[in-house]
Amino acid sequence: MSRVLVAMSGGVDSSVAAAMLVEDGHEVVGVTMKTFCYSDIPAHGKTCCGLDGIMDAKRVASALGIPHYVFDVEEDFTRDVIDDFVSEYAHGRTPNPCVRCNSNTKFRDLLSRGKALGCDRIATGHYVRVSHSPNETILLRGLDEDKDQSYFLWGLPNEILPWLLFPLGKLTKDQVREQARQLDLSTADKPESQEICFVPTGDYRDLLRKKLGDVHPALEPGEIVRSTGEIVGHHSGFAGFTIGQRRGLGGGFSEPMFVLGIRPDTREVVVGTRDELFGTQVTVRELNWLTTPPQADAEVKVQLRYRAPAVTATVIDIQEDLTLSLGAAQPAITPGQSAVVFCEEQIIGGGRIV
Amino acid sequence: MSTAYLDHAATTPIRAEVIAAMEPYLWHRFGNPSSSHQWGQDTSAALENARAKLASAIGASPSEIIFVRGGTESDNLGVIGGVRSLAFAFPNSKPRILVSAIEHSAVIEPAQWLENRGEAELRTIPVTPAGTIEGELNTANPSKLPCLVSFMWANNETGLLLPLSEVCEWGEPSNVVVHTDASQAVGKVPVNVSELGIDLLTATGHKLGGPRGCGVLYIRNGIQVEPLIFGGGQERSLRPGTEDVAGAVGLAEAVHLAVSDLDSASAHMEMMRDRLQARLLRNIPGLRINCGAAPRVPHVLSVGIPDIGDTGVFLTALDLEGVAASGGSACHSGANKGSHVITALYGPEDSLSTIRLSVGRDTTEDEVDSGAKAVTTVWSRLSALTAE
């Protein structure tokens, strides 16, 4: 039996993960990370601790007979995730805060506190598999293709890998819900959380306005142009756009228009037809490898956004940056999003698309 | 794993005698004390007997005892009600509030709120780890404004006893009202309101073997306090609402018992506290006993521990070792923010992490020894990680 620190968000996935670890005979310690202060949201009242997720997690932990604690990681989370999120949009890119959180905040914090608490392992409710051997720990896609969350985990620091347990990696979401019902967990039928956890209003532009102030280039009107330079409309702030977006471009086009690019210097949003949206090459920065990195000319699989299929690619160059040539042209290759490199089911690593 | 509950300053178990005293009023002696029939007369008598019992235990008259819902409510009524009453009495000057820098948030928050609303001016008076006020009081209100002073009898985070007689002698009696939060003092050190000459005093049941949610505000005869809630006129209109007879009976019984066996219980707690203190001093180099050179209540041990970083992690690790303690005060659990009390006493740059261990009347040597062992174990682990 080992002591396992499990991150519990109050949702069904991490609840079941904790329950499975208990069932496996581990000494389980539940923890909920308080990532940001909810005091700005009137509905949540004055206190940060009255948060629904924390209370749900406490109820589940109590039902499982395990201790539960709240870790305040607000300061780190604000610096590493929220500030980065805002800065990326301000620079015309589309951030991926869940990747930032996993890479910088959640797992690092879990590990350091896990060590302090005398734990042997740390666990979360991610749909991803982990395989431990004496020489190496490898991460594999979750078996449920719809839920697989390996896309978000390429940035994990290497020293964390041997500590990881992912109890849900071999389950489907339906099986997880079924487990939750059998265990009579109060969170069994809780709806899936879709929005970004620190954007409770659902509109990230509210957060940008709050953080950047009302007068900021990213939130000021600009021109919508074709790649030829022709002005075809106006927008109310480029931070409201992401590559591949159709909404918000106005009408009057003879065929559907998509965002092809954002030029923060001139505040232009470049649009074009669906054909123009495709690219055959991608450059990736801030690389992190969970195992031996691929070499030049190697053939790999790369996934360019969450839920997109991995496509075959060839390594053109790998140094500070990684440049990949895609086997088939891909739509909406978006700066700021992650490019995650796989070898079959195994996550090799990844980086931020530039 | 041997467990040890060393958080009696957060709350301590209710005593069997208290439950026995309360039981009839939770059940078949149920009348509303305001009713004139026999059922009401029965509980009304119980309520008044409880009032008299409590009053006598702290040197007060029964008419000076107002039953309220716990210590926080008592503090709020004392501070806000006291200030508003001064405002009525002195319509031409805005009252001043003087609080020590180490007050409980149940005093600081209402005082701050009054200042934010423009109803009073708040001054915070520094206190040293030796328990001295250093003449600040004399300069805090040079214009002799009507003034509410709130200095706690014993600090909840460190156990520090404040020089209350000094505070009570300060200022002009005609325009100064002195309140004290004695939640951690009653039942631990002798508390006699008439000897001290205090105007308002707060105490609460669950810190001394009584029921949760039952508190008292002592209001010296002649001192006016404005109510915060309004209703049927119970408790001299200062705490309207159908009385909690069982709670009042339990609170009075608990105070009576705690005061009756104060000498032996205090001696026991002090012995346990000192045993714990000696073991920790021996095991952990660089350990600081907070306010260790000052007079303290017998049940609280506050220690500054080197090289452990976040107090919250330390307490969590300690809990997993089976030992309950707290980081300063228990009221901010989960937030892990630095304690305003430790900051006020040792400065914002204090490099030590403070935890509070507190013993109760039934704490055993075994519990103390398990506690000392667990604190040492966790300190070793965390300081090794910090050094990495």
CATH code for the domain in which residue A93 is found: 3.40.50.620
A50 interfacial to chain B (CB closer than 8 Å): no
CA distances from B228 to A46, A196, B76, B212 (A): 21, 42, 8, 21
Residues A22 and A167 in one domain: yes
- The predicted model gives A38-48 an average pLDDT of 45
| Mean pLDDT across A60-65 | 95
pLDDT band at A48 (very low <50, low <70, confident <90, very high): very low
Segment A220-235 mean pLDDT: 93
Q: Do residues A293 and A339 share a domain?
A: yes
**Residues A44 and A178 reside in one and the same domain:** yes
Residue A40: which pLDDT band, with cuts at 50, 70 and 90? low
A17 and A51 within one domain: yes
CATH of the domain at A263: 2.30.30.280
pLDDT, residue B160, reads 98
pLDDT for B163-176, tens place per residue? 999 999 887 778 99
Co-location of A293 and A240 in the same domain:
no
> Å from A69 to nearest chain B CA?
7
Average pLDDT over residues A87-99: 95
Closest chain B CA to residue A32: B334
- Looking at residue A37, its pLDDT comes to 66
Quote the pLDDT of residue A286: 96
**Which of A94, A95, A83 has its CA nearest to residue A35?**
A83
The encoded tokens of residue B29 equal: 């002696």
- Supply the DSSP symbol for B64: G
Instruction: Assign residue B192 the CATH number of its domain.
Output: 3.40.640.10
Q: Which domain holds residue B121?
A: 16-260
In the predicted model, residues of chain B with pLDDT beneath 50 are: 330-336
Is the domain of A175 the same as that of A322? no
Q: Are A71 and B381 an interchain contact pair (Cβ–Cβ within 8 Å)?
A: no
Residues 6+ apart with CB under 8 A from B290: B129, B158, B302, B303, B304, B342, B345, B346, B354
pLDDT score for B99: 96
Q: How many domains does chain A have?
A: 3
In this structure, are A111 and A166 located in the same domain?
A: yes
Asked if residue A32 and residue A166 are part of one domain, the reply reads yes
Mean pLDDT of chain A: 91
Between residues A253 and B289, the one the model is more confident about: B289
pLDDT for A239 beyond 60: yes
Q: Are residues B322 and B185 in the same domain?
A: no
Cβ-Cβ pairs closer than 8 A, A with B, add up to 39
Under an 8 A CB cutoff, do A116 and B312 touch? no
Identity of the residue in A67, A72, A116 whose CB atom sits nearest the CB atom of B382: A116
Chain B residues closer than 8 Å to A72 by CB: 312, 334-336
pLDDT in tens, B18-66: 999 999 999 999 999 999 999 999 999 999 999 999 999 999 999 999 9
Structural domain ending residue among the three candidates A272, A295, A313: A272
Q: Are residues A236 and A313 in the same domain?
A: no
Give the pLDDT score at B336. 47
> Is there a single domain that holds both residue B277 and residue B320?
yes
Say how far apart CA A242 and CA A253 lie, in whole Å: 19
The stretch A325-334 carries a mean pLDDT of 96
Contact flag A48-B335 (C-beta cutoff 8 Å)? yes
A170 and A55: one domain? Answer: yes
pLDDT for A46 equals: 36
Domain presence at residue A262: yes
Nearest CA-CA distance, residue A40 and chain B, Å: 16
Per-residue pLDDT at A185: 84
Q: What is the pLDDT of residue A43?
A: 46
Q: Are residues B52 and B184 in the same domain?
A: yes
Average the pLDDT over A234-262 and give the result.
90
Q: How many domains does chain B have?
A: 2
Whether residues B107 and B214 share a domain: the answer is: yes
Q: What is the pTM of this model?
A: 0.88
Residues B89 and B110 in one domain: yes
Q: Is A54 on the interface with B (CB under 8 A)?
A: yes
Position A41 pLDDT exceeds 60: no
Give the DSSP letter string of A148-176.
Answer: --GGG-TT--GGGGGGEE-TTTT--HHHH
**B316 contacts chain A (CB < 8 A):** yes
Q: Which domain holds residue A259?
A: 220-272
Rounded Cα–Cα distance for residues B37 and B238 (Å): 24
CA nearest to B336 within chain A: A72
- Alpha helix ranges (H) inside A173-292: 173-182, 204-212
Query: What's the confidence (pLDDT) of residue B355?
Result: 95
From the list B333, B335, B385, the residue facing A115 with the nearest CB is B385
CB interface of B with A, residues 354-383, below 8 Å: 381-382
Probe site for chain A from B112, B313, B326 (most A CB atoms < 10 A): B313
pLDDT above 80 (res A193)? no
User: Has residue A202 been placed in a domain?
Assistant: no
